[in-house]
Amino acid sequence: MFTIGDFAQYGRVSARMLRHYDAIGLLRPARTDPVSGYRFYEAAQLARLNRIIALKDLGFSLQQMGAILAEEVSVPELRGMLRLRRAELEAARTAAEARLAQVEARLRTIESEGRMSADDVVVKRTGTVLLAELSGTAAGYGPEDIGPVITPLYAELCRLLETAGVTPAGPGLAYYEDVPEPNGGSGRPAEGSEGKDAIVVHAGMVITEEALAKAATAGAASGRPAADTSGRPGTPTATGLGFDVVTLPGLDSAATVVHRGPMSRILPTAQNLAHWIDANGYRSAGYARELYLECPPDQEKWVTEIQEPVVRA
């Protein structure tokens, strides 16, 4: 079973939304602890959540969603609703495109329920890497929130690396963290917390100490501050070259799976991984990392390894 925070991550929704759906009877948790009041969900409940979000993004009210779900709406019916909604949004095509893409991702996930193979999931250790990185803050963990933040970060990072004369020594690697609490705390939102959906996005490229030292030397000769890599592992430090560097520790145990295609369609892969984790006696230990193995101009040909830190349940 998953905590409300973990379930919200897999569904790419907020914990606050899940609490609201519980309150109105649209999606009840599988179990609620009678003492603490904490909510727990099962992976099988992702199917109902997918339908709720698809109907919500199609413009249905909560009352209408309840009635439609009670009639066990079929995938063809959802497809029909999507076509009607697309026609209604034709005049606002530009503003609606991102939302429609997410509806399509939900429908793809619904269509593949019960047919997704988890044979390609591998649990392994990952190595420590030195990253050049830029960071930003996204409003949430959904592709529609991450994409507009991480895409310009990587474009700027590649420009800065080229300017500094640093050639990447490996693929891009993105990782995520919750926005730190004002008192210095961190971690996933706890049960009962509100407004903690924003996350820090780290867009990184693997580099070498030698390449960084060479760039730092050239930078010092031109009057720029020398690069500093003396910070503790996992803590980004400034280089004076426009980007930060971080020694990112490896993961002791990561459930990994390869995603093919654009990251806007990550949902089926991520939820397939969630089913595997639940079925094999693990639980998530943090946000998944994304290792971009192949990123040609055609995003349909992208190959990305999803690395979810896990521990035994």
102 has a pLDDT exceeding 60: yes
Residue 68: predicted pLDDT? 84
Is the CB of residue 109 less than 8 Å from the CB of residue 50?
yes
Q: Which of 90-104, 123-137, 165-179, 295-309 has the least mean pLDDT?
A: 90-104
Residue 221: predicted pLDDT? 44
Banded model confidence at residue 191, pLDDT cuts 50, 70, 90: very low
Tokens of 41: 């969900």
Residue 289: predicted pLDDT? 97
Helix, strand, coil percentages for the chain (3-state, nearest 5): 40, 20, 35
Residue 222: predicted pLDDT? 47
- CB within 8 Å of 61: residues ≥ 6 apart: none
Distances in Å between the alpha carbon of 258 and those of 7, 119, 131, 270?
Answer: 21, 11, 21, 10
CA-CA distance, 177 to 204, in Å (whole number)? 14
Q: What is the pLDDT of residues 228-287, one digit of tens each?
A: 555 566 788 888 899 999 999 999 999 999 999 999 888 888 988 999 999 999 999 999
- CB within 8 Å of 293: residues ≥ 6 apart: 171, 258, 303, 304, 305
**Average pLDDT of the segment spanning 66-89:** 78
| 65 compared with 38, residue with greater pLDDT | 38
- For 295, counting Cβ atoms within 10 Å of its Cβ (0-12 exposed, 13-18 middle, 19+ buried), the class is middle
Residue 186: predicted pLDDT? 47
195 has a pLDDT exceeding 70: no
Beta strands, E only, 24-180? 31-32, 39-41, 122-124, 129-138, 172-178
Banded model confidence at residue 118, pLDDT cuts 50, 70, 90: low
Q: Output the CATH code of domain 2-111.
A: 1.10.1660.10
Banded model confidence at residue 114, pLDDT cuts 50, 70, 90: low
Residue 193: predicted pLDDT? 40
187 has a pLDDT exceeding 60: no
Is the CB of residue 241 less than 8 Å from the CB of residue 224?
yes
Q: What is the pLDDT of residues 255-270, one digit of tens each?
A: 999 999 999 888 888 9
162 has a pLDDT exceeding 70: yes
In sequence order, what DSSP letters do the residues of 245-301 get, joined into one string?
Answer: EEEEPPPSSEEEEEEES-GGG-HHHHHHHHHHHHHTTEEE-SPPEEEEEE--SSGGG
In sequence order, what DSSP letters do the residues of 174-202 get, joined into one string?
Answer: EEEEEPPPTTS--SSPPTT--S---EEEE
16 has a pLDDT exceeding 90: yes
Residue 201: predicted pLDDT? 97
SS3 7: helix
SS3 171: coil
Tokens of 212: 């960084």
